[in-house]
Chains A and B, each alone.
Chain A
Amino acid sequence: MVTQPKIKVEDLKLWYGDFRALHGVDLDINENEVTAFIGPSGCGKSTFIKTLNRMNDLIPYARVEGKVELDGQDIYSKKMDLNNLRKKVGMVFQQPNPFPKSIYDNIAYGPRTHGVKKKSELDEIVERSLRQAAIWDEVKDHLDRNALSISGGQQQRICIARALAVEPEVLLMDEPTSALDPISTAKIEELVSELKQEYTIVMVTHNMQQASRISDRTAFFLNGHIIETDQTRKIFTNPNQEETENYISGRFG
């Protein structure tokens, strides 16, 4: 059985002004899998992940060429509804960035924007999202607390819950644990492996062990190219490219 990739990227190029950050990237991202992007700083992995829900639109001097398809639909076409795209493709960032509002209002923010008004419905979404993000038990008794008053690890899970509240199909995570301690990191990693049952997850990580522990597929980026994409077990036991081997084993440069 041949399944369609959830996201299909073809010959994607990106410039920041005169600087070419991505040189024709091709990549298939499968549904219900965790795909990890690894590579040294400045290799283009964060730039690339942002193109998947057009966050790069917010950078005025960034220019994109090529194709990104979500379920076969070109997300860079003029007909694409950006709000709808970002509802389908949610994002979690490196630094936890909850709104300076209550925990409840953080989670309810997205659904409200998309027109959910009924209290009972919002309550339900808030509870479901917090449960999915494995933080409900820790915060259920003080949902009115300011989201900035809880720990960094908890804030990051609030951000994941906030992303889940609008029922996305794809979750993009740009180094979601690099600002967290090992215990919070373990919780987020556990969470990611749970979430992949229902979502497609794409993650940028500087932590190679993290990629090896939780991803199904790994793409290795270098200087704006993807050097190699394969099953994570293959990449970490016997990669095809020497550059991948050198980077993973810490022999780089």
Chain B
Amino acid sequence: MRRAYDEELERLHRLFSQMGNMVNEAIYKSIKAFVTHDKELAKTVILEDLKINEIEHQLEQDSIELIALQQPVTGDLRKIITVMKACADLERIGDHAVSIAKSTIRVKGTRRHKPIEDKISLAGDKIKQMGQDIIDAYIQYDAEKALEIAKRDNDIDELATQIRKDSIEEMKKDSDLVLGATDYILVSTYLERMGDYITNISEWILYFNTGEIKELNTHHDLD
């Protein structure tokens, strides 16, 4: 019976990486659409998110059935829990891509600020890379790589802070920029949240390897 069980686990694993690739695609497209002001591309992100949500439900349903029918223990149990928890994080990343896409669609010929958009683009590239790397780390259950990726989240946080500061500065100088820059601030927050969810996935990869649930990159300092 072990064989059928292993095949089911393998299928779960494959479906998860498929979902990961779709979410990465959504990140890429949403950032690209935002900085190139491409509303059509932004619409595809929103539509494709439905499919991402479907896969999440499928993964959850399959995981629940595996738990009920196979009574997994040890590594098998950790594998299933990892999928269940990490797919919820992926789904939230997908939702943030949708939020960025919606910002893109909302913008109507308001004033732009190239240097800030370049920073958003840079943060987007970094997130996209982290997203790709975390799926690779997941597939190989590579804890070291997961830790390294989680560390990169600090760069994202810094960039997001900069984007917010720059936006406020530029708004002070030019009130025509208020509408556009408000979206910059929103998008910076979405990107920052994406980084946090990627960090969560790192935590689940670590959990798979060690059995310990540990928080990485806490944001609990009061300064």
Contact = CB atoms under 8 A, between A and B. Distances in A.
Interface residues of A, number: 12
A189 B1 CA distance: 6
B58 interface: no
Contacts of B70: 212-213
Interface string A41-65: 0000000000000000000000000
Nearest to B1: A189
Interface string B47-79: 000000000000000001100111100000000
B71 to A, nearest CB: 6
Interface in A168-224: 186, 189-190, 193, 209, 212-214
Nearest to A191: B1
B147 to A, nearest CB: 36
A238 to B, nearest CB: 9
B219 interface: no
A237 B1 contact: no
Question: Interface centre among B1, B2, B68, by most A CB within 10 Å?
Answer: B1
B6 to A, nearest CB: 11
B69 A232 contact: yes
B69 A193 contact: no
Q: How large is the interface on B (under 10, 10 to 19, 20 to 34, 35 or more residues)?
A: 10 to 19
Contacts of A232: 69
Contact of B4 (A193, A209, A237): A193
B3 A237 contact: no
B2 A236 contact: no
Contact of B3 (A190, A209, A236): A190
A203 to B, nearest CB: 13
A209 B73 CA distance: 13
B1 A233 contact: no
A186 B2 contact: yes
A27 B2 CA distance: 29
A237 B68 contact: yes
Contacts of A233: 65, 68-69
Contacts of B68: 212, 233, 236-237
A214 B65 contact: no
Contacts of B69: 212-213, 232-233, 236
Nearest to B70: A213
A237 B64 contact: yes
Contacts of A186: 1-2
Given A237-B64, A237-B65, A212 B2 contact: no
A186 B2 CA distance: 8
Given A209-B71, A237-B64, 15 more contacts: A186-B1, A190-B1, A190-B2, A193-B1, A193-B4, A212-B68, A212-B69, A212-B71, A213-B1, A213-B70, A214-B1, A232-B69, A233-B65, A233-B69, A237-B68
Interface of A: 186, 189-190, 193, 209, 212-214, 232-233, 236-237
19 contacts: A186-B1, A186-B2, A190-B1, A190-B2, A190-B3, A193-B1, A193-B3, A193-B4, A209-B71, A212-B71, A213-B1, A213-B5, A213-B69, A213-B70, A232-B69, A233-B68, A236-B65, A237-B65, A237-B68
